[in-house]
Amino acid sequence: MDDFEVLRLLEAMLRIPSPSGQEAELADFLVRRMTDWGFRAWVDAAGNAVGEVGGGPKTVVLLGHMDTVPGEVPVRYDGNRLYGRGAVDAKGPLAAFIGAAARWARRGDRPYRLVLIACVEEEAPSSRGAFFVRDLYRPDFCIVGEPSGWDGLTIGYKGSLQAVVRVERPSAHSAHGRPTAAEAACEAWLRIRAAAEAFNVGRPRIFDRLLPALTGLRSGGDGLTEWAELDVHLRLPPDLTPGSAEAWLREQVGEGCIRVRGAIPAWVGPRTTPLHRAFARAIRRAGGTPRYLLKTGTSDLNVVAPVWQCPALAYGPGDAALDHTPEEYIVVEEFWRSLRVLETVLEEVTVEG
């Protein structure tokens, strides 16, 4: 299996749309491809595509996600770039996982069990696929597929709280000068933003700050009651739990009510485990210098790592700045470099650990 065959796998994955909640076609495709490449493969009860190879007393989990945010990015090559929705987040890392695992399995000496999981709904507040497998496995090592660049290792993610803030008021004529529900909701957002700025005083590092975002707004009424809703997304630092963040948000909102759509705490892991050392050696052999990253987003690593309590990190080709953008692409050479790094890690990860 050469590099071009793995690249063709990624291209085929990009041509199958898989926004959150619509991953079934891609899951079936991956099960067929993994079966052809020597995996024992199936779709589990949550809709995740799962493949296993090898055996032995230790287990390594490679956990990626199949789903993408909405929006079509035409699949095409432009020089050394492959464009498509999910090329970076996160079909590129997932394809690299599958290719590296298949190559490792074909070498014959497979001293441990490798489980590859392509999760559903990572981009949704539910993280349904990761929560499902979290209680099924207890691996010795976990690698989550997210873009870090071929020489980057992500060792921490911020937490997240997604909520709907709703303000309701009796309907009144706009000429009377009383603030409308829409105005009250806008004022609530201004209080949230100002309170976050106060929270962040003395926190120079962005990873340690509370980052609010207004991601949607709606208003309406039935002639008797008017309402306005805000979709608020809080990115949480490690010292702010989702419960504390919800209480903080309620304090800022005042008269409005809050419905939490999803919440998960931040996670930061060590950088000195056998897994991290294996990656550092592999990156250096490939001509790079390891970079250790703290991300302001969240991933399925936040879901599984606190429960599995094993050496864990996120790794994968791609520039995370291109996540969710209309110009999402992966550099082909970087994709191939990540393949080589992953192959080396899979060869060595259990030797030291």
Nearest C-alpha neighbor of 264 from the set 305, 231, 293, 229: 305
Q: Which residue has the higher pLDDT, 149 or 353?
A: 149
- Whether 353 has a pLDDT exceeding 70, the answer reads no
CATH numbers and ranges of domains, the chain:
3-157+267-352 (3.40.630.10), 159-264 (3.30.70.360)
Nearest C-alpha neighbor of 284 from the set 348, 216, 189: 348
DSSP string, 36-79: HTT-EEEE-TTS-EEEEEE-SS-EEEEEEE--B-S-----EEET
pLDDT tens digit string along 155-193?
Answer: 999 999 999 999 998 887 565 567 899 999 999 999 999
pLDDT of residue 107: 81
Q: Which two tokens stand for residue 41?
A: 């493969």
Q: Which residue has the higher pLDDT, 262 or 351?
A: 262
Percentage of residues in the chain having pLDDT higher than 70: 98
Q: Of 51-55, 167-171, 314-318, where does mean pLDDT reach its minimum?
A: 167-171
Token pair 């209480």 is at which residue?
247
User: Active-site residue numbers?
Assistant: 67, 122
Phi-psi map region of 162: left, alpha, beta (phi>0 left; psi -120 to 50 alpha):
beta
Nearest C-alpha neighbor of 88 from the set 275, 326, 340: 326
pLDDT tens digit string along 70-111?
Answer: 999 999 999 999 999 999 999 999 999 999 999 999 887 778
Beta-carbon contacts of 44 under 8 Å, excluding residues fewer than 6 positions away, are 50, 132, 133
Q: Which two tokens stand for residue 205?
A: 């590092």
Q: Over the chain, what is the mean pLDDT?
A: 95
